[in-house]
Amino acid sequence: MRFLILSDLHATFESSEVKNSRLVFENTESEFGTRFIQYCKSLNFHFDFLVCPGDISNQGCGESFKSGWKFLNEVSHKLNIKEILCVPGNHDLQSRPESNFSPLHTVKFCEPNFPSTCYETNTHFWGWNWGHIETENFNCILLNSSAYHGFSSEYKHGRVAPETTKQLSEFITSDKFKQRTFNVLLCHHHPVKREDIDFDSDHDVMDGGQALLNELEKVTSEPWLIIHGHKHFASIFRAQSAGFNAPLIFSAGSFSAKLYPKIESRTSNQFYILDIDLKETLEKDCLVGTFEAHSWNIENNWHPSSSDNLPYKGGFGTDIKPRDIITKLKELLAEDPYLDESSLQPIYEMLTHYTPTEFKELLQKLTKLNFEYDISDNKLIQVALKK
């Protein structure tokens, strides 16, 4: 099951005074967008779903929302992707005073329909701030974490009301929610605090987010994948959990927004390819898969990421401990004076589902246990024992 994830586009126009994004439309064309489609085609992947956790527009501009949403549909069409999973972000709503008679008007009445092609799903989404899409292999909950924007100071952060959480809980435990291999929660705001990004208090987190995650874990035994945007800083990690199956949180970076100074040296404009291994996920009862991150910069255009957040390749759902890898390395080094890319193949297989953080922990252990190693683009290139 393969997802193509583009988040926080912040589409804008050539004529706009404020250009916060690289996805700039001149009439209906954007060179940045065109190059992205060409690049994606060159990767030769088949995608099952296109996912966008919101902020398609910039600063509530209705016209750029329409262009951005049209662009996403164009991506879907040109890459033969059957369905788009999308939610609005805070920038998609005209929530500032005097910008429109309703924060939701443009997004509710645009063409093609938003966030989904199904009238009933959309009705439910706009009515109750959430919607459900059922697919062959997973359930997807679309959550509007910007639902209350336009009222007092709600625009400053996300929110999921306790009543919404209760509704979701009841729905999930009802017959209408069929068991699938895994579940997806798609929302714009981050459900848990991320003070590590700006090294500051996190005031724009989704209020009620942690409670929602706790409830989801309580009422289902299948694993959850949470995909969100908003922070423009990519990462992948497990949420806090008291149970076996902590939800996996995929925090998508921004596809095309100009990054603010605190993060611009630590991440980049990216899109992601997320692969869920359905068989392993079912067998291990835990979300197992891999991801690829592709970055953009002026020198190289689109290219496999060389950033740490997120690196080009990584995974999730491993049950292989670092000590197993270390044991294997010792075994291999008993036969060889050093290991190179060819002799490291068994190790690469063991590392397939390691998250970037888990990989870093492994490297720390290697250093402590007197291994010497050489890394290039987040990949072990050579390993030897210290003399």
Partner 1 sequence: MIDQIQHFNKSFNAKSTSKQNLAESFIPNGHFDRLTSPNHTIMIGPRGSGKTTLLRMCELEALDIWDGTKSDNYRSKIDFTGVFIPTDRFWKAQFDLYSEKFKSDKLLKKLLLSSFTYHVLECFSNTLIYRVLTSKKKKSYFRNIEISKQNEVQLVEYLSELWHVETKIPSLRGLTIALTLKKHEISSYLSSSDGSRQSSKIPNFADSNIISLLDTSIQIVNQFFDDSDGKWAFLFDELELAPDSFVQPLIDNMRGGPQNLILKLALSPYHKDVSITNNSYSSMHKQDLSFINLSGVREDGLEFAKTLTNNIFKKEKLTNPIESYFETIDINRDKEFSELTKNDKSFFDYCSRQSILGKSYSELSNNQQAAFRRIQFNVHLRNYYQTTRKRASHYYTGFDNICRLLDYNPRMLVGVMSIFSSIAKSEGHIKVHRQLKCIDDYYQSFKALLNTIAVESNESSLNSLYDVITKIASYFEQQIHGEIFSPDPKGTITFRDDYNRNYLEAVGLALNAGALVIEKNDTDSFHDTDGLYSSRCRLSYIFSPKFKLLTNVQPSIDLVEILNQRKIKILDMFGGQGEFKL
Using CB under 8 A, list all residues that contact partner 1.
336-338, 340, 342, 372-374, 381-384, 386
Return the number of the residue (39 or 373) whose C-beta is nearest partner 1: 373
- Three-state SS letters, 277-338: CHHHHHHHCCCCEEEEEEEEECCCEEEECCCCECCCEEEECCCCCHHHHHHHHHHHHCCCCC
Q: Which is nearer to partner 1, 17 or 299 (CB)?
A: 299
CB 318 → partner 1: shortest distance, Å?
A: 26
Judged by beta carbon, residue 142 or residue 383, the one nearer partner 1 is: 383
Of 116, 58, 86, nearest to 187 (Cα)? 86
Smallest gap from Cβ 322 to partner 1, in A, equals 20
Identify the helix (H) or strand (E) that includes residue 143: strand 138-143
In the complex with partner 1, the residue whose CB is nearer, 169 or 343, is 343
> What is the number of other CB atoms lying within 10 angstroms of the CB of residue 41?
11
State the minimum distance, in angstroms, from the CB of residue 374 to partner 1: 6
Q: What is the smallest separation between the CB atom of 342 and partner 1, expressed in angstroms?
A: 8
In the complex with partner 1, which residue's Cβ is closer, 324 or 340? 340
Q: Judged by CB, which is closer to partner 1: 122, or 382? A: 382
For residues 377 and 380, give the distance between their C-alpha atoms in angstroms, rounded to a whole number: 8
Please state, in angstroms and as integers, the Cα–Cα distance from residue 234 to each residue in 79, 180, 231, 311, following that order: 24, 27, 8, 9
Which residues sit opposite 49 in a β-bridge?
3, 83
Give the C-alpha distances (Å, rounded to integers) separating 44 from 31, 38, 79, 318.
Answer: 21, 10, 9, 27
CB of 346 to partner 1, least distance (A): 16
DSSP codes joined into one string, 233-269: --EEEEPP-SSS-PPEEEE---SSBPPPHHHHTTB-E
Quote the least distance from Cβ 32 to partner 1, whole Å.
Answer: 17
Question: What's the closest the beta carbon of residue 355 comes to partner 1, in angstroms?
Answer: 26
Token pair 């959480």 is found at 165
3-class SS at 130? strand
Q: Kindly tell me which of 374 and 377 has the beta carbon lying closer to partner 1.
A: 374
